[in-house]
Chains A and B, each alone.
Chain A
């Protein structure tokens, strides 16, 4: 039974079809990567899954229920957590507050989703703060600290510092911690290592590997192919809005259609001690 099912989804902007009849599934516990050249439609697809955009046609199902067109708030309540391409943390809030906000949907106080009554109840609870509310807050704080230990000494010593004062790599780690606080059933990572140097990338690789080992289901967009090949159970390759290949990493890597569209005849990945040469004119 798939956790996430995308069936024949299409999205066009004016004359441009960004996503063209794309289908893919993610089974529980799997790590699936979506790769593809610039403009392949990966980000649009992500936006469709995470509710920032709605498909023109096709279905998106999460745990069997249709989620296409649902706003991001509802998806969060269903157990979908995501990170953003350049790291959208809450800049003036502390690391702790950032992580605590990830757990927002789990708070008892926000449960009554009934319009009008719900917010008033929440207001009352915030004012009165019965023991159950206080206990929950404490529990969540302890949990946040626990999540932060996943990142070693990177974040814990800075737990009360505002996010804007952190380095770029640390901000991206805070983002992942925040997503974990939601206790997601599906974690969507949008280029988690964008802008990171190789040693930071290697650290992130280990963190994602550890999350996978915990049984987390992950959907990943990435440009760094070595990362993708290391981590993925399955790789989905997009080009021009369509899925052009799908399968185990080694199979995809050797698929001629993929090599043609994506890898070209570039020298990426070849041994670095080849002597520098004049690249032949194409």
Chain B
């Protein structure tokens, strides 16, 4: 049941002379929500870039459903069923919400199925219906996050990669986003998310990894991690360590 849909094996990544990942290994079981946590210099955003092919590791492998995808160009990885919700949304600001959603289906040939998905996505994100003709750049941060997630769904992906989906959102929208992630997951989409706010991510995830300066420091089922005092000391968002 939990065959790994995505696997990273012994990834070593460099930015010039600076090493960012040290033998990084992790796996994402099919149908799960898995989160990757860590602070700013931990290398978690770089992990996303590796998976999506935006950056090549110096050594190591990335496997999607057992097939190596290391170093493939991003468009090819996307075609294999990987959707992306980038950090800070990255919608196409001068395109309408509808056009943005359709861009999510760019790599798909099955036009009829795309139309079906369009309707289904709008059922999941009903508030977008009234905004279809609006330019994406004029929406608020939270609404843009909705569009970004819907756009990724339009590709009918097996795996969605989300980079800090709750960053910069008001608590109200944070709630909505977390619920939507769960809803998407219930429909069978595997979710891999990178998050700085550990407590939020671990509340909805099945499994979690904690990255610390390029190495996995902790890993385990989410509810166990939540109770692990080591995380709480360093990472639980909102718990500032006093007298440090």
A binds B: yes
Please give the residue numbers on chain A whose beta carbons come within 8 Å of chain B beta carbons, in ascending order: 37-39, 167-169, 195-203, 205-206, 223-227, 230, 262-269, 272-273, 275-279, 281-282
How many Å from the CB of B109 to the closest CB on chain A? 35
Chain A contacts for B93, CB-based, 8 A? none
Q: Kindly report which residue of chain A lies nearest to residue B227, judged by CB atoms.
A: A273
- Judge whether A199 and B39 touch: CB under 8 Å: yes
- Judge whether B38 and A197 touch: CB under 8 Å: yes
- Known contacts A39-B141, A266-B174: A197-B226 contact under CB 8 Å: no
- Judge whether A202 and B172 touch: CB under 8 Å: no
- Judge whether B172 and A198 touch: CB under 8 Å: no
C-alpha spacing A202/B243, complex, angstroms: 8
Given A38-B168, A38-B169, list of 20 further CB < 8 A pairs? Answer: A195-B40, A197-B40, A197-B41, A198-B236, A198-B241, A199-B241, A202-B240, A205-B240, A224-B238, A230-B240, A263-B171, A266-B172, A268-B238, A272-B236, A276-B203, A276-B223, A279-B179, A279-B182, A281-B179, A282-B179
Asked whether B232 is an interface residue with its Cβ less than 8 Å from the other chain, the reply is yes
Chain B contacts for A268, CB-based, 8 A? 171, 174, 199-200, 237-238
Asked whether B1 is an interface residue with its Cβ less than 8 Å from the other chain, the reply is no
C-alpha spacing A220/B107, complex, angstroms: 45
Chain A contacts for B241, CB-based, 8 A? 198-199, 202
- Judge whether A38 and B142 touch: CB under 8 Å: yes
One of A201, A205, A223, A264 near B175 (C-beta < 8 A): A264
One of B173, B176, B244 near A203 (C-beta < 8 A): B244
C-alpha spacing A57/B227, complex, angstroms: 52
Please give the residue numbers on chain B whose beta carbons come within 8 Å of chain A beta carbons, in ascending order: 38-42, 140-142, 168-176, 178-179, 182, 196, 199-200, 202-204, 222-223, 226-227, 232, 234-242, 244
C-alpha spacing A263/B175, complex, angstroms: 10
C-alpha spacing A208/B193, complex, angstroms: 32
- Judge whether B170 and A38 touch: CB under 8 Å: yes
- Judge whether A198 and B203 touch: CB under 8 Å: no
- Judge whether B240 and A198 touch: CB under 8 Å: yes
How many Å from the CB of A242 to the closest CB on chain B? 15
Chain B contacts for A226, CB-based, 8 A? 238-240
Q: Kindly report which residue of chain B lies nearest to residue A15, judged by CB atoms.
A: B138
Q: Kindly report which residue of chain B lies nearest to residue A169, judged by CB atoms.
A: B40
Chain A contacts for B172, CB-based, 8 A? 37, 264, 266
C-alpha spacing A206/B239, complex, angstroms: 15
- Judge whether B237 and A264 touch: CB under 8 Å: no
C-alpha spacing A72/B202, complex, angstroms: 43
How many Å from the CB of B99 to the closest CB on chain A? 21
- Among all A-B residue pairs, the 9 with the closest Cβ atoms: A197-B39, A37-B170, A264-B172, A266-B171, A202-B244, A38-B141, A202-B241, A264-B171, A39-B140
C-alpha spacing A29/B121, complex, angstroms: 52
Chain B contacts for A262, CB-based, 8 A? 170-171
Chain A contacts for B38, CB-based, 8 A? 197
- Judge whether B39 and A200 touch: CB under 8 Å: yes
C-alpha spacing A155/B146, complex, angstroms: 41
Chain B contacts for A264, CB-based, 8 A? 170-172, 175
Chain B contacts for A282, CB-based, 8 A? 175-176, 179
- Known contacts A197-B40, A277-B203: A37-B235 contact under CB 8 Å: no
Chain B contacts for A275, CB-based, 8 A? 223
- Known contacts A264-B175, A266-B175, A282-B175: A168-B238 contact under CB 8 Å: no
C-alpha spacing A142/B171, complex, angstroms: 45
- Judge whether A169 and B41 touch: CB under 8 Å: yes
Chain B contacts for A224, CB-based, 8 A? 238, 240
C-alpha spacing A172/B161, complex, angstroms: 29
- Judge whether A199 and B226 touch: CB under 8 Å: no
- Judge whether A196 and B237 touch: CB under 8 Å: no
- Judge whether A272 and B232 touch: CB under 8 Å: yes
Chain A contacts for B237, CB-based, 8 A? 198, 268
C-alpha spacing A268/B175, complex, angstroms: 10
Max chain A Cβ within 10 angstroms of own Cβ: one of B39, B42, B196:
B39
